[in-house]
Amino acid sequence: MNISQPLILNGPEWTCCFAPGDREKLVFKYAGSELLAISGMSFGKVDESSAYCTKSKKHESTDLLSCSLQTVNVLPFGSEPAITRSCEISGNHAVITTDCDMRHKMEVGAFEVDNLVLKGEWTRVGFVKISNPIPSVGDIEWHDLGKGGGFRLELDQIPLLMLFERDDKFMLEIGNGDDLWRWLNTLIFPGSSQSVVIESTGGGISLRRIVAKWGNDTIAGSRNYRFSWYFSWEAPGMEYFKCGEDAHGNESGKSNAGEYFRFPEGDVPLNLAACHGNRNLGVSCFHSPAVSGIFRSIIRSALGNSRSRNIVIENLTVPLCENAAHLERPQKQVLLHWNMIRIFDQWLWANKQLNNSGASFYAVPAADGKIFSVLPSVRGLSAI
């Protein structure tokens, strides 16, 4: 079956549209203007532009806190790989999960994941390498895009995240999902190299994420390849919850503003801690079942109070972690992951729990020079 009916999700200031048959598989608009368009997967000689749609559906939650769509596109070549893509949007971020089901072996020249174009004029781009497990603001490497086109930047490894900024200080963030080991895993693509190419194009900036590339066509094995990533935006004038203020930004004592909590820092027990390079990072990993349990207990305890109160985490840190046990894969011992999408999930779950009582959950980013205080993704978790 070839589906031709478009799907549209509408938010307060944004629209997300999937139009079967179009080269741009997903188009996201903000304030009436196109912000980014996803063209999809590419395998060298063939890409997702020639695919036909066999399934599409959307879901909008009754509490209006989130909405999602899912599509299945099939390439009518070779082993006819099926590409299933889901997009869930809540707050100021969207999470994309792309599954590429290679039903049989297939000859490929490259493996590119969800290439896209950022529409409009941008002044600079910054990226953060996958290195420092708790990045600082100084870990952002900025590059001016200039005017009139001609910009091209090629990175030899998938970065942790990228930031794009316009003249009006509107910022777009594009980052990897929790599954860093998939983005960096060359074991499933032997003999390949990877790169990210950012360059000026007609109407904006193109972004190609080349997870694997070979000098000559090679045979990709039969399996399902899954990758997750996200994008987040921040418009000038957005308001954020500040510790010591109420939900409307008025100065108030903490006792009136809500219940405040801080996750353990410093001497953090190993069952809670993010670990990297055989060292305890002194912050919590949200993939740890123990951390998730503590977090959910905090929210459920608040629901038991007779008076609704906002719940505020004061020191949110989003670390990288290598403890495979947090992903229920202890046999692997080391499996690099980071907490961004997991924290998105916990933030949404908490707000859904508190919504009926008229309260909200806010996660305020840690300061002290850490990168989280400038990222749209993390700052958005304390947006009013």
HEC profile of 199-214: EEECCEEEEEEEEEEE
**Per-residue pLDDT reduced to its tens digit, 166-196:** 999 999 999 999 989 889 877 788 889 999 9
**Per-residue pLDDT reduced to its tens digit, 101-160:** 998 888 899 999 999 999 999 999 999 999 999 999 999 999 999 877 789 999 999 999
- Indicate if the alpha-carbon torsion angle 31, 96, 56, 103 is positive or negative: positive
Percent of the chain residues past pLDDT 70, beyond the cut: 94
CA distance 119 to 98: 22
Selection from 47, 43, 335 nearest residue 185 by Cα = 335
Q: Is the pLDDT of residue 371 over 80?
A: yes
Task: Give residue 330's pLDDT.
Answer: 61
Which helix H or strand E contains 290, and what residues bound it?
Answer: helix 289-303
Task: Give residue 362's pLDDT.
Answer: 95
**Per-residue pLDDT reduced to its tens digit, 241-291:** 877 554 444 544 444 468 899 888 899 998 899 999 989 999 999 999 999
Q: Is the pLDDT of residue 235 over 60?
A: yes
Q: Is the pLDDT of residue 333 over 80?
A: no
Question: Residue 206: which pLDDT band, with cuts at 50, 70 and 90?
Answer: very high
Domain residue spans in the chain?
A: 7-234, 254-382
CA distance 49 to 148: 28
Contact between 360 and 257 under an 8 Å Cβ cutoff? The reply is: no
CA distance 369 to 384: 23
Task: Give residue 327's pLDDT.
Answer: 83
Pick the residue with more confidence: 345 or 264? 345
CA distance 300 to 305: 9
Task: Give residue 110's pLDDT.
Answer: 94
CA distance 92 to 14: 10
Q: Mean pLDDT lowest for which of 36-45, 327-336, 349-358?
A: 327-336
Task: Give residue 253's pLDDT.
Answer: 43
The CATH code for residues 7-234 is 2.70.98.10
Task: Give residue 1's pLDDT.
Answer: 67
Question: Residue 308: which pLDDT band, with cuts at 50, 70 and 90?
Answer: confident
Task: Give residue 159's pLDDT.
Answer: 96
Task: Give residue 306's pLDDT.
Answer: 62
The arithmetic mean of pLDDT across residues 324-352, rounded, is 88
Q: Is 312 helix (H, G, I), strand (E, B) or coil?
A: strand
Percent of the chain residues past pLDDT 90, beyond the cut: 68
